[in-house]
Amino acid sequence: MSEILEADVVVVGAGVHGSSAALHLARAGKKTILLEQFTVPHSRGSSHGQTRIIRQTNFGTPALAPLLEDSYKQWKAIQAQAGDVLLRPSPLLVLGTKEKQPLMEQMAESVRESGHVPQWLAPAHVNNMFGLECGGDAMAFLDPSGGVLMADKCVGALQRLFRAAGGMLLDGWPVAEIKVEPEGSVEVRGQRGKVRAASLVLCPGPWAAPLLGKIGLHLPVRVERISVLYWRVKDSRRTTTTSFVDVSDDRGHFYGLPDIEYPGLVKVCFHGGPEVHPDQRDKCDGREIRERVMQYVQKKFPCLEPQPVIEESCMYTTTPDEECIVDTHPKYKNIIFAAGFSGTGFKIGPAVGRILSLLAQGHPLPYDLSEFSLSRFSKSKI
Ligand SMILES: Cc1cc2nc3c(=O)[nH]c(=O)nc-3n(C[C@H](O)[C@H](O)[C@H](O)COP(=O)(O)OP(=O)(O)OC[C@H]3O[C@@H](n4cnc5c(N)ncnc54)[C@H](O)[C@@H]3O)c2cc1C
């Protein structure tokens, strides 16, 4: 049966950003409806899976600093309210080579600017400590602000807290149409019915381009399928015990997490993948990326079996400058959107949610977000 619902704010997309925005809005006393196209929890977007890396270091994007700081505090508060372990602090190992010295030094400087002290490590020390095989030209430091977010648990906690604050989460509710009413309110429509609201917050993840296209916004994003690969530890006494990011390779960086998801399996991935349509994620060929990560693991991780034993999939929505888009529709100030998190947006979910909630209520923002505007790409066709 078709439903017609009314709310102060309707949020579309129950990934980390939409769920966080919905929680902030419900706690601000707004009647909020969160619509999700799939049944939750699901593994078809970008926020699923067991872990994500968090750090307070902005690694060269100063505009991210207040969002990182706010999010770290919020994740701790959400953890306390949820009564579950969501955040595990543990230093992040940053790997590079002498050839990448300027980048490594810039990253280390960013650690210092975030109020932490990078701990530089000699290659031999790194190899002994983390079961790696880095060459003599390696450079490495530990970023003590690092940690691991338990991603599925985080999203589940945001949604539980949203419901506890009086919010309504409707899943299996794909939004097909968006209509701006003459008096300015917004109506979203789908097979399940209609929802009318004073404001609309759009957080559609990989579906951002087609959905925002319906309201005249052109998002220059590329959706990529990411191969999430797990590798068996050969000797548990000698294996990597920390999350890492490795910027040595010119083609892009590799990253990984220790065996906290599946016992005895370490996650090692490449930060990028082939372009896909989000509805056809599993049709694309992941062999090239798998081969690239295999060569990397075989070269640098003697502590791991040379073939992956599990492959899962996820999607990045990547902008040309790899920074996110958080903005208001240039014509309709009551339509707010967040997208293009380019494979790094999970950690800032709580701060993005707060920003979206403030924008949806017409409140001023505590910081300048112009660096994340859509207009920086100057292609918005209104
Ligand atoms: C493998 C992988 C590793 C990553 N590692 C890290 C990391 O270590 N640290 C970090 O900070 N970030 C990381 N990221 C990035 C981070 O996970 C994403 O940036 C973030 O999850 C994006 O969240 P989102 O809410 O924008 O999108 P999503 O989680 O995709 O949520 C969007 C939701 O909108 C729904 N939706 C779309 N269209 C509609 C519609 N028409 N109607 C109703 N619902 C709709 C979708 O079904 C989906 O549930 C990683 C991402 C991947 C894939």
Each residue of 37-84: pLDDT tens digit? 999 999 999 999 999 999 999 998 999 999 999 999 999 999 999 999
Maximum C-alpha span of the chain: 68
Is the confidence at residue 382, as pLDDT, over 80?
Answer: no
- CB within 8 A of 207, min separation 6: which ones? 13, 37, 278
Q: Cis ω on the peptide bond leading into residue 302 (within 30° of 0)?
A: no
Q: How far is the CA of 166 from the centre of ligand 1 (A)?
A: 24
Q: Which atom of ligand 1 is nearest to the CA of 205?
A: 27
Top-level class of domain 91-145+222-318:
alpha beta
User: In this predicted model, which residue has the larger pLDDT, 235 or 73?
Assistant: 73
Q: Which atom of ligand 1 is nearest to the CA of 45?
A: 30
pLDDT (average), residues 203-219: 97
pLDDT of residue 380: 47
Q: Which atom of ligand 1 is nearest to the CA of 52?
A: 8
Q: How far is CA 47 from CA 93, 203, 248, in A?
A: 23, 12, 27
**Domain ranges for the chain:** 3-52+151-220+321-377, 91-145+222-318
Residue 264's region, left for phi above 0, alpha for psi from -120 to 50, else beta, is: left
pLDDT of residue 378: 80
Residues with CB under 6 A from ligand 1: 12-18, 35-38, 44-47, 52-53, 174-175, 203-207, 211, 226, 228, 314-316, 341, 343-347
| Minimal-distance CA residue to ligand 1 atom 27 | 205
| Minimal-distance CA residue to ligand 1 atom 25 | 15
Work out the number of other CB atoms within 10 angstroms of the CB of residue 180: 16
Cβ–Cβ < 8 Å for 20, 352: yes
- Give the highest mean pLDDT range of 180-184, 283-287, 347-351: 347-351
Is the confidence at residue 32, as pLDDT, over 90?
Answer: yes
Q: How far is the CA of 132 from the centre of ligand 1 (A)?
A: 31
- CB within 8 A of 250, min separation 6: which ones? none
pLDDT (average), residues 295-316: 96
Mean pLDDT of the chain: 96
**pLDDT for 82-115, tens place per residue?**
999 999 999 999 999 999 999 999 999 999 999 9
Is the confidence at residue 298, as pLDDT, over 60?
Answer: yes
pLDDT of residue 28: 98
pLDDT of residue 379: 52
Q: How far is the CA of 47 from the centre of ligand 1 (A)?
A: 4
Is the confidence at residue 302, as pLDDT, over 90?
Answer: yes
pLDDT (average), residues 256-274: 96
At 1, the pLDDT band (50, 70, 90 cuts) reads: low
Q: Which atom of ligand 1 is nearest to the CA of 344?
A: 12
pLDDT of residue 61: 92
- CATH topology for 3-52+151-220+321-377 is FAD/NAD(P)-binding domain (3.50.50)
Please choose, from the candidates 353, 368, 380, 364, the residue with its C-alpha nearest in 3D space to the C-alpha of residue 18: 353
Q: How far is the CA of 46 from the centre of ligand 1 (A)?
A: 3
Domain 3-52+151-220+321-377 and domain 91-145+222-318, same fold? Reply is no
- CB within 8 A of 65, min separation 6: which ones? 58, 113, 114
Q: How far is the CA of 256 from the centre of ligand 1 (A)?
A: 18
| Minimal-distance CA residue to ligand 1 atom 34 | 13
Helices marked H in the chain — which ranges? 16-27, 65-82, 101-113, 123-130, 151-164, 208-213, 287-300, 349-360
